């Protein structure tokens, strides 16, 4: 393990002072910031730059995956150099971005934390697009319309028959349109096909 802290930033206001949204990477040896991912990415389709989700780290590839409320997924090769005896630590990030849009929603912000199974990444956005992204090709394998925002992290269960996913949406966008209540729905999906296995309202 490396003495590194990864920390998202959900708001850009502190006691009346406004700044930029960043996903921070801190060196725990000297408490300095080594790098910051900028949230107001010019390549993003959405301007809101918050970082509510927790990133995933792959120790074997020295890669971090993070989803942002600007609607982008960031795959960052960290190129970490750590010499424990000398007390030196550095990173040289190389960033690959994934962006998308759907035909049924412009609400692309990703607040839930991504989950991964083999080479597949699972996440859902404010507009209800639950997505399986193939990390080898950076193309969506399938999408599922949950109907509303999802903040919870996807839970993955590996079974003898394959992997399944558990997810649940909230009442957010539907309530702002209808000004009425709506059902939250817990769902179980096939991880490889996106097929709905059951749902509970």
Supply the pLDDT for residue 131. 97
pLDDT over 90, % of the chain: 81
- Please tell me which residue, 87 or 1, carries the higher pLDDT value: 87
Note the pLDDT tens digit of each residue in 126-185. Answer: 999 999 999 999 999 999 999 999 999 999 999 998 999 999 998 877 777 667 778 899
Q: What is the DSSP letter of 180?
A: S
**Sign of the torsion formed by the C-alpha atoms of 98, 101, 107 and 112:** negative
Model-level pTM? 0.92
């Amino acid at each position: 393990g490396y003495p590194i802290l990864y920390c998202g930033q959900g708001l850009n206001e502190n006691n009346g002072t406004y700044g930029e949204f960043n996903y921070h990477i801190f060196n725990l040896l000297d408490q300095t910031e080594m790098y910051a991912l900028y949230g107001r990415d010019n390549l993003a389709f959405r301007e809101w730059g918050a970082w509510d989700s927790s990133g995933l780290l792959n120790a074997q590839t020295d890669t971090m995956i993070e989803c942002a409320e600007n609607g982008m997924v960031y795959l960052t090769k960290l190129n970490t150099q750590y010499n424990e005896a000398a007390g030196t630590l550095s990173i040289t990030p190389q960033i690959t971005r994934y962006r998308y849009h759907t035909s049924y929603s412009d609400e692309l912000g990703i607040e839930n934390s991504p989950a991964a199974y083999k080479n597949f990444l699972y996440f859902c956005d404010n507009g209800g697009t639950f997505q399986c992204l193939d990390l080898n090709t950076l193309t969506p394998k399938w999408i599922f319309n949950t109907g509303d925002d999802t903040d919870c992290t996807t839970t993955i269960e590996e079974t003898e028959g394959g992997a399944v996913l558990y997810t649940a949406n909230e009442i957010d966008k539907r309530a702002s349109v209808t000004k009425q209540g709506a059902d939250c729905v817990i769902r179980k999906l096939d991880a490889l096909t996106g097929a709905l296995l059951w749902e509970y309202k």
